[in-house]
Each structure stands twice: as structure tokens, then as C-alpha cells.
Structure 1
Amino acid sequence: MSQKFSYEIMEEIAVLSKNNKGWQKEINLVSWNGNPPKFDIRDWSPNHEKMGKGLTLTNEEMDTLKLFLSTFE
């Protein structure tokens, strides 16, 4: 049984990398199933028709990650 879900990319923030098939690893703000948008890091096919597995972060989680990453030189 497959579950239906919806998504809307609210803001495209950055492309981290692109592979030779045109898929891009991106950071975006995405609304899943009509919920408030979250930061989302995942691979997307051209035109955002297909997606790979990814990671979603709340604003608080993103703030913690930014703080952690700022400790690296």
C-alpha cells in the first residue's frame, strides 16, 4: 500500500552539488502535506519531479546546526 503525500517547495535556498544525470543536492524550504515549511536537504531530479531520501530540519534544528558548523574553520 503506497501512501500519498504532497509537497511544495516554498523557497529554493542553495544547490550543494549536481551529478552527471542532472540531479542536484539542494537545500530548500519545503511544505510537506500542507504543513508549515521546514528546511529540507535532499537530491532532486531536474524540474523537481522526483526526489531522493533526505533530511528535514525545523527552524530550531537549523539554528543548532548553524551554531555547530560555525565552530569549524
Structure 2
Amino acid sequence: MADIKFEIQETVGTVSQSPKGWTKELNLISWNGKAPKYDLRDWAPEHEKMGKGVTLSVEELKALRDLLNEMEL
């Protein structure tokens, strides 16, 4: 399997943390040298491992924000 290269350009925030120290984070990440996208996924404490996640363009993130704002929580 090919190595995945990533650069976290901005940490927006942490959504949650597990008892084992993994954090669910929203970050702005450049994957394999491409333009950065917003990314929501689980990370090991030192960012040495990652779980599956979702990447979103700015437009997709705005659409998600609008959907969440419409929800009654």
C-alpha cells in the first residue's frame, strides 16, 4: 500500500477524545501535496495513526454548517 502523505495546515478544533487518547478533530489538511481540504477524523495522540474520515471542500463544509444549523438539537 502506498504511503499517504499529509500536512495539517490548520487545526480548527477537537470534537471529542476517547479514553485511549484518540481525538476526533476538524483540520485543514493537504493530502499528497494537493490543495488543502477540511477533514474530520479520529487521530492517535501524536498523529502517528488515523482512522477513516471525511474530507470536505469549503462549499461542502458551508452546506454541512447550514444543515446543522437547521437541526433542533
TM-score by length of 1: 0.93
Q: CA deviation at 1:33?
A: 0.4
Q: CA RMSD in A?
A: 0.8
Residues of 2 paired with 1:50 and 1:31: CA distance? 16
Q: Secondary structure at the match of 1:67?
A: helix
Gaps of 5+ in 1: none
What whole-Å deviation, never above 9, does each CA across 1:21-40 have from its counterpart, x for those lacking one? Answer: 10000000010001111010
User: TM (normalized to structure 2)?
Assistant: 0.93
- Opposite residue 6 of structure 2, the aligned amino acid is Y
Aligned residues: 72
Q: Deviations over 1:6-33 (max 9, x none)?
A: 0000000111110111000000001000
Detail structure 1 runs of 4+ shifted over 4 Å in the superposition: none
